[in-house]
Amino acid sequence: MKKRKKAVFFITAVVMAFMANGCTDESGNTVGRKTEQREKTGTVSTFVQETVGIYEAEKAAWSGNVKMVSKPILKGYSGTGYIEGFEEDTDICTFTVTIQKEGFYDLNFRSASKGGEKHNYVSVDGERLGTVFVEAEDFTDTYLTRVYLAAGEHRISLSKYWGYIWLDYLEVLTSEPIDSSIYNIKAELSDKHASEETKRLYSYLCDIYGKKFLSGQFCDTGQYGKEFQIIKKITGKTPAVLGLDFIEYTPSMVENGSKGYATNYAIDYWDNGGIVTFCWHWNAPSKYLTGEWYRGFYADSTDINLEKIMSGEDTQGYELLMKDIDAIAEQLMILKEAGVPILWRPLHEASGGWFWWGASGPEAYKKLYILLYDRLTGEYGLNNLIWVWNGQNAEWYPGDEYVDIIGEDIYPGEKVYTSQISSYLNASKNYSNERKMVYLTENGCLFDPDLARRDGAMWGMWCTWQGEFVAKNTAIFTLSEQYTEESMIKKVYEDKDVISREDLPDLNTYKIRSSDSIKGDQ
């Protein structure tokens, strides 16, 4: 999950007298919106964003626990008040919105948190499109950007995910066109000593970015596991990317009898013409485990304090983390010697706080990420790594010099085939000062390539998580259609722009691009 920020450069302040339902604060003052001009790197856009309507929450349709706040305590609301609730799955606020001209629109749910980070679902005409985030405890703009709306009437709903917010109104604004330059990536890795095979793979990834989608699938038993076999049976094709995890090699797991095979699976898949990505559910050292030993990567199963470790207060903890890194470096070294480049995604989903490496906040996390980068690339000389950062929040970004690709993990629900364009653009525009490729590094259901192309959400890769997202929990290799229906799996893998393993070129001989070349120069 991540925080969405909207950087705007105002060129004029225009009170929009035509705003739907009338928009005034609690003192009766008109709340105006401003037209915008967006600044690009080296250029200034001529796009001017316009509000096409504001819809007060107190005049919308409610269900469940959603209700009008009887005694308002917050300042700065518009209209006659605001609503609350969003505590149960049935809690929904639905706005009826009329659109005059089809196109892309930004949806701004003006809201406030009842304490801490809150995310809630947005649906249009019953189809879930994504989530909006709010952390501030006063009314704040929270956007879902670039939503396609046909001309006519629509039902736009906000429903409980994490819940517990106050909602003032929905604002519908015209959406800024996508700057196609976000798809143009320089073929320059963060590791200046990257191996030849790593440069070849990265060059290929840069060449197809913005044009094609790499198919990917996690499977902890490798290319012959049930997830891969189910996809092959349905589509006749094999995912281009195999997703694996180093968790079983972590010392606290090994101490309890775990044995890892992922390194061998990775070598086999690369040798068979595929691409490999690794995450690492880093089980905390045994000293810090407070719950089940196999859940030691979760913050609620360990009392490890990363802030104390990174500040020097816990020197033993630092030494234990270094031993853990050494254990994983040993496996990465095996892959290096086998000539296998890796899409390496450590310390993922940090900003969510559910993993211990994110539980102490962004500063401690960034220190650990940079330490891991320096230790693996510098001390160990692991030049076969393409670093995929997956912190999911701009405040957690360690710096462009430590990141090659930005990853987003999105689990939108069941049979939600939308493109997740808002998350894609947020990651493309708001994390890095440079252009970086953006990958869907974990997902539940697949997205529809037709919708991704329409919206401009050109994810360089998706990589569906294993287990229930593909296979029923039985010995029989049977598709679970709980998240993605068989018809959609077929459609996706048959799409002209989706790359399976069978479509990959020989990556051992692929031409290395010059570091200053961008797509279109070839």
Catalytic residues: 349, 442
Q: Give the H or E element holding residue 205.
A: helix 196-208
pLDDT band at 38 (very low <50, low <70, confident <90, very high): very low
What single-letter amino acid sits at 517?
A: S
DSSP 376: I
pLDDT, residue 362, reads: 97
pLDDT, residue 452, reads: 97
Residues 6+ apart with CB under 8 A from 42: none
Q: Tens of pLDDT along 188-204?
A: 999 999 999 999 999 99
Q: Answer whether residue 6 shows pLDDT above 50.
A: no
- Mean of pLDDT values over 335-360: 97
What single-letter amino acid sits at 121?
A: Y
Residues 48 and 142: their CA atoms lie apart, in Å, by 19
Chain mean pLDDT for the chain? 90
Q: Tens of pLDDT along 442-475?
A: 999 999 999 999 999 999 999 999 999 999 877 7
Question: Are 157 and 94 spatial neighbours (Cβ–Cβ below 8 Å)?
Answer: yes
Q: What is the pTM of this model?
A: 0.87
Residues 6+ apart with CB under 8 A from 369: 346, 347, 389, 391, 398, 402
Question: Are 53 and 20 spatial neighbours (Cβ–Cβ below 8 Å)?
Answer: yes
pLDDT, residue 9, reads: 26
CB-hemisphere CA count at 13 Å for 353?
Answer: 6
Q: Tens of pLDDT along 281-308?
A: 999 999 999 999 999 999 999 999 999 9
pLDDT, residue 472, reads: 80
Spacing of C-alpha 45 from chain mean position: 26
Phi then psi for residue 270, to 5 deg, are -60, -45
- Mean of pLDDT values over 366-388: 98
Task: State the Rg of the chain over Cα.
Answer: 24
Question: Are 383 and 336 spatial neighbours (Cβ–Cβ below 8 Å)?
Answer: yes
pLDDT band at 130 (very low <50, low <70, confident <90, very high): confident
Q: Tens of pLDDT along 484-501?
A: 999 999 999 999 999 999
Domains for the chain: give ranges and CATH numbers: 9-174 (2.60.120.260), 180-503 (3.20.20.80)
Q: Tens of pLDDT along 53-105?
A: 999 999 999 999 999 999 999 999 999 999 999 999 999 999 999 999 999 99
Residues 287 and 289: their CA atoms lie apart, in Å, by 6
What single-letter amino acid sits at 321?
A: L
pLDDT, residue 187, reads: 82
- Mean of pLDDT values over 7-25: 31
Residues 6+ apart with CB under 8 A from 111: 132, 134, 139, 140, 142, 165, 166, 167, 168
Of 396, 447, 397, residue with least CA distance to 424: 447
pLDDT, residue 522, reads: 35
> How far apart, in Å, are the Cα atoms of 388 and each of 207, 344, 345, 435, 521?
17, 6, 5, 14, 25
Q: Answer whether residue 32 shows pLDDT above 70.
A: no
Q: What angle do CA 352, 357, 361 make, to 5 degrees?
A: 65
pLDDT, residue 18, reads: 30
pLDDT, residue 46, reads: 84
pLDDT band at 517 (very low <50, low <70, confident <90, very high): low
pLDDT, residue 103, reads: 96
Local structure of 310: helix, strand or coil: helix
pLDDT, residue 515, reads: 67
Residues 1 and 486: their CA atoms lie apart, in Å, by 28
Q: Give the H or E element holding residue 134.
A: strand 127-134
Q: What is the DSSP string of 21-61?
A: T--BBTTS-B-----EE-B-SSSB------EEEEEEGGGSE
> How far apart, in Å, are the Cα atoms of 360 and each of 113, 247, 298?
21, 21, 13
